[in-house]
Amino acid sequence: MSVLIFTEIDNGALKKSSLEAVYYGSEVAKMKGTTATVLAIGTATDDELAKAGNFGASKVLHANDSRLANGNIQAYSDVLSLAVTQEGAETIILAMSSLGNAVAARVAAKLKASIVSNVTELPDFSNGIKVTRSIYTGKAFAKVEMRGEKQIIAVKKNAISVVESSNLAIVEPFTPTLKESDFAVKVTGTHKASGIVSLPEADLVVSAGRGLKGPENWSIVEDLANALGAATACSKPVSDLDWRPHHEHVGQTGIKVSPNLYIAAGISGAIQHLAGVNSSKVIVVINKDPEAPFFKAADYGIVGDVFDILPRLTKAVKAL
Amino acid sequence: MKILVCVTSVPDTTAKISFTDGDTKFNKAGVTFITGPYDDYALSRAVELKEQTGGTLTVLNVGEVDSEQVIRKCLAIGADDAIRVNCEPKDSYFTAVQIATIAAQEKYDLILMGRESIDYNSGVVHGLVGEMLGIPSLSPIMKLEIDGTTAKMTREIEGGKEDIEANLPLVLGCQEPIAEWKIPNMRGIMTARTKPLRVVEPVGEDMTFTEKYMLPAPKGACKMILAENAEDLIGFLRSEAKVL
């Protein structure tokens, strides 16, 4: 009957997006008159995991099988569905991510559950279970009734404003029996940029486009991002030209972000780019062309030369 | 190798989105429908793999009759035949059941589709199909090489990518740069007209029901800051927008 939240561990702690999902799940549990249980897979200390209580969870199930280190989708799906059975959970909550969505999908098939992704608000329980999701890459929303006996809700970043408490959760080991066939897929290498703010997790994003004229000029973008503690992103042409890696490309066919602040420098704002950023809370556009379509989607705009403006903004942030 | 590519028929990326019938239906008037951009990547890689290894390439669409123009285009690009499941794909689970039902009979070595459709953006159908068939599912795949019965892949993860090896059969959600989009040539367009397109009726029922569509609240006016006062932006972000 409890609400179960699938979380991800990164560097020994629950990911920020997962903590948002924990808070969302705890609010759902309150609405249903039950408690929220977290499933955490990977290496983390009990003290660290108990902090899920700050976000409303009463219990954490900790699965720490060394074979689960690589984010194996099938194995994670089995662990989650076994946790659902143990807890008798009806509603499963998780944050959207490359791993979360993949696991949620397989678990939905195992449990014959309704599954909805990109959920942007708390559910409405007044008549059945209804959620609001973003569709058409942020250009519209839909109110969807979940008709399955079990429901899986994949939550978009910033769907809920988190309020932390000082409560701690009880941490219990969870040791499900895994099948050898769960490990048929082998991860043979991982290439991850280290020491940077992860783009889908970031609250603040500094993004740049062809207006930067070349990859050698990216230091002014990175300087502002570093000063703000922001992630860097880019437009599709920039990633197509190999100025920046594909995992920084935001837009219709790239990453969709919904940070608190999105600063776009030297990006004209093609509709395909806007599709990836239109759920950002605040958008700042810096462009030398006053006719750039991006200004229509912006909250703050500066018409000017990015090579002049960006270093000045960096200086102003450092002076705070 | 026997390949299935699942494609969606979706509004063009520049389409203006609006709704009719008291916000319960998508307004198709004046909207151009295209093959899902991610599905196009999947199809393009499938055509290349078929050229390399031989075998057959089938396209599958869960959609109503008006998606046949998209299906014909896929046939023109290089698919051998097509199946259309005659219904509106409104729910991920239901859509996956249609694909898995056909795939369970046909036993494909490789099932490719886009990482997500660009209308509902769910990004879960590949995972659902994989579990329904009891085979691995991976997404988003940006590189795919087939060596005998082994697939070597690159999957995008947050802030990077990972290399993966797995045996066929597999279900993969694809994205760029797995292949360059292919444009049909005249011969392809001519032969596509006579390639087989089988229409089957759906099974099962939706697990979700869309009650109402909504458009986002209109954006307020953009506050313009003069270039010479650019530094003021930081103050506004802090005291007014409260995001710093």
Pairwise CA distance, residues B142 & A95, whole Å = 22
In a domain, B231, yes or no: no
Is A81's Cβ below 8 Å from some Cβ in B? no
B230 near A CB under 8 A: yes
* Amino acid code (one letter) for A166: S
Cβ distance of B176 and A253 shorter than 8 Å: yes
Question: In Å, how far is B193's CA from the nearest CA of chain A?
Answer: 30
Is residue B237 domain-resident? no
- Asked if B22 has any chain A CB less than 8 Å from its own CB, the reply is no
pLDDT at A195: 65
Rounded average pLDDT over B96-109: 98
Q: Which residue has the tokens 């396209």?
A: B59
Is residue A303 a part of any domain in this protein?
yes
Name every residue whose Cβ is closer than 8 Å to that of residue A279 and which is 6 or more positions away in sequence: A120, A134, A138, A156, A158, A256, A257, A258
A103/B127 Cβ within 8 A: yes
- Helix or strand holding residue A49 (H, E): helix A46-50
Looking at residue A138, its pLDDT comes to 87
- State the pairing for strand pair A91-95/A151-155: parallel
Q: Final residue of a domain: which of A151, A183, A215?
A: A183
Report the C-alpha gap between A196 and A232 in whole angstroms: 9
CB contact under 8 A, B161 and A191: yes
Output the domain CATH number for residue B158: 3.40.50.620
Minimal Cβ distance to B211: which of A143, A278, A305: A143
- Shared-domain flag, residues A175 and A246: no
- CB of B178 within 8 Å of any CB in chain A? no
CB < 8 Å to B171, chain A: none
Residue A279 resides in a domain = yes
Q: Give me B216's structure tokens.
A: 């986002």
**DSSP readout, chain B?**
-EEEEE--EEE-TTPPP-EETTTTEE--TTPPEEE-HHHHHHHHHHHHHHHHH--EEEEEEEE-GGGHHHHHHHHHHT-SEEEEEES----HHHHHHHHHHHHHHH--SEEEEESS-TTT----HHHHHHHHHTS-EEEEEEEEEEETTEEEEEEEETTEEEEEEEESSEEEEE-TTSSPPP---HHHHHHHTTS-EEEE---S--SEEEEEEEPPPPPPPPEEE-GGGTTHHHHHHHHTS---
- Is residue A64 domain-shared with residue A127, that is, in the same domain? yes
Q: What are phi and psi of A138, to 5 degrees?
A: 85, 0
For residue B57, pLDDT over 90 is answered with yes
Q: Do the domain assignments include residue A260?
A: yes
Single-letter residue type at A266: G
Query: Do residues A66 and A104 both lie within one domain?
Result: yes
- Same domain, yes or no: A171 and A245: no
Number of domains in chain B: 1
CATH of the domain at A36: 3.40.50.620
CA angle, residues B157, B159, B161, in degrees to nearest 5: 45
Is residue A73 helix, strand or coil?
A: helix
The Cα B15–Cα A318 span in angstroms is 42
Q: Which residue has the tokens 């769910």?
A: B122
Same-domain check for residues A113 and A34: yes
Same-domain check for residues A212 and A179: no
**Do A11 and A153 fall within a single domain?**
yes
Q: Do A147 and A208 lie in a common domain?
A: no
Q: Final residue of a domain: which of A183, A214, A231? A: A183
Contacts with A158 (C-beta within 8 Å, 6 or more apart), sequence order: A20, A258, A259, A260, A279, A281
CA-wise closest residue to B141 among B120, B121, B184, B112? B112
Strand partners, A37: A4, A59
Residue A207 within a domain: yes
User: Mean pLDDT over all residues of chain B?
Assistant: 95
How far apart CA A4 and CA A26 sit, in angstroms, is 9
Range of the domain at A151: 3-183
Domain annotation covers residue A194 = no
Q: Is residue B230 part of a domain?
A: no
CA dihedral B68, B72, B77, B81 (to 10 degrees): 100
Q: Do the domain assignments include residue A189?
A: no
Contact between A296 and B219 under an 8 Å Cβ cutoff? The reply is yes
Mean predicted confidence (pLDDT) in B224-240: 95
Q: Is residue B234 in a domain?
A: no
**A-B contacts at Cβ under 8 angstroms:** 272
Give the pLDDT band (50/70/90) at residue B187. Answer: very high
Mutate to test the interface with A, among B205, B222, B239 (most CBs of A within 10 A): B222
Which residues 45-64 of B are in CB contact (within 8 Å) with A?
A: none
- Tell me the CB-side half-sphere exposure of residue A245, using CA atoms within 13 A: 14
Q: Which residue of B lies nearest to A301 if distances are taken between CA atoms?
A: B224
Tell me: the pLDDT tens digits for B5-36? 999 999 998 888 999 999 999 999 999 999 99
Inspect the interface and report whether the beta carbons of A140 and B130 lie closer than 8 Å.
no
Q: How far is CA B32 from the centre of its chain?
A: 16
Q: Which residues 274-313 of chain A have a CB within 8 Å of chain B?
A: 275, 278, 281-282, 284-285, 295-305, 308-309, 312-313
C-alpha–C-alpha distance, residues B62 and A217, integer Å: 46
**Sheet architecture: strand order including A300-303:** A231-234, A204-208, A261-265, A282-287, A300-303, B223-225
SS3 sequence of B49-116: HHHHHCCEEEEEEEECHHHHHHHHHHHHHCCCEEEEEECCCCCHHHHHHHHHHHHHHHCCCEEEEECC
**Inter-chain residue contact A186 with B164, CB threshold 8 Å:** yes
How many whole angstroms separate alpha carbon B122 and alpha carbon A133?
10
Burial string for A227-265 (b: 16+ CB within 10 Å, else e) reads bbebbbbbbbbbbeeebbebbbbbbbbbbbbbbbbbbbb
- Pair A242, A288 in one domain: yes
- Pick among B8, B44, B208, B231 to test the A interface (most A CBs inside 10 A): B208
Q: How far does A227 lie from chain B, in Å, by closest CA?
A: 11
Cβ of residue B20 closer than 8 Å to a chain A Cβ: no
Cα distances (angstroms) measured from residue B57 to each of A206, A318, B80, B116, B148: 42, 57, 5, 20, 17
Question: Is residue A193 assigned to a domain?
Answer: no
Segments of chain A with pLDDT less than 70: 195
Beta carbons within 10 angstroms of residue A136's beta carbon? 21
DSSP assignment letter at A230:
P
Candidates A203, A151, A121, A241; CA nearest to B243 is A203
Residue of chain A whose alpha carbon sits nearest to that of B206: A147
Q: Residue B177: inside a domain, yes or no?
A: yes
Return the CATH number at A270. Answer: 3.40.50.1220
Total tally of structural domains belonging to chain A: 2
| Chain A contacts in chain B segment 78-137 (CB below 8 A) | 91-93, 96, 118-128, 130-132, 136-137
pLDDT at residue B217 in the model: 85
Give the β-pairing of A114-119 and A13-14: unpaired
Asked whether residue B225 is assigned to any structural domain, the reply reads no
pLDDT at A38: 98
Q: Report the distance separating Cα B114 and Cα B95, nearest Å.
A: 14
Q: Is residue A229 part of a domain?
A: yes
Nearest by CB to A192, from B160, B222, B223: name it.
B160
Does A300 sit within 8 Å of B233, measured CB to CB? Answer: yes
Chain B neighbours among A 205-244 (CB < 8 Å)?
228
Q: Indicate if A90 and A122 belong to the same structural domain.
A: yes
> Which range of residues forms the domain containing residue B177?
2-215
What is the distance, to the nearest Å, from the Cα of residue A129 to the centroid of all Cα atoms in its chain? 23
Alpha helices (H) along A88-228: 98-111, 219-228
**Residue that the structure tokens 């080991």 belong to:** A173
User: Same domain, yes or no, for A130 and A253?
Assistant: no
Q: Which of A231, A230, A228, A232 is nearest to A320 (CA)?
A: A228
Would B235 be classed as within a structural domain? no
Residue B220, domain member (yes or no) = no
Contact A252 B13 (CB under 8 A): yes
**Domain match, A205 and A171 both:** no
> Which H or E element spans position A46?
helix A46-50
